[in-house]
Structure 1
């Protein structure tokens, strides 16, 4: 399943952990936004990892959106090109 994951993490060390975790699962698209392609089991693992890496008392948040197959045909990028980072998202 394709997911869009956004995050707002205040602590630099925690934010780096979240970034590195998401990088293992998918592609960085813009500040605090990743696209990941995971199985149901991987989604559970990802959510568990992220939950351990954020501090709710600091106001940290992670938001996960599932993209349906028909939605993928309607993605529009405006502005500069997405980052040229290596992507493991198909």
Structure 2
């Protein structure tokens, strides 16, 4: 699993960045995304951040990518617990 956390002050750039991340994963919290884990996806995300976004970041902006292995222990509480199990809806 890859976790991307960001703090971007410019509203337009922040919106563009979050829409970019939505192509690869989903939002865990307002500025934290979970992205499908593969070397190809990580490479794509990293190169797009470097080539498209990095030159537009200000001195106070930051993006952090956490590449978590399967051995990492993740404990979830509240609504986040729903992400641990597959959900089947029968209509």
Q: List structure 1 segments (4+ residues) > 3 angstroms apart after TM superposition.
A: none
> How far apart, in 1, do the equivalents of 2:70 and 2:37 lie?
14
Q: Give the TM-score, by structure 1 length.
A: 0.73
> Which structure has the greater CA radius of gyration?
2
Count, aligned residues? 79
Aligned residues of 2:2 and 2:35 also touching (Cα < 8 A): yes
Gaps of 5+ in 1: 85-90
Superposition deviation, residue 29 in structure 1? 0.2
Aligned partner of residue 17 in structure 2, secondary structure:
helix
Gaps of 5+ in 2: 83-91
Q: Give the TM-score, by structure 2 length.
A: 0.73
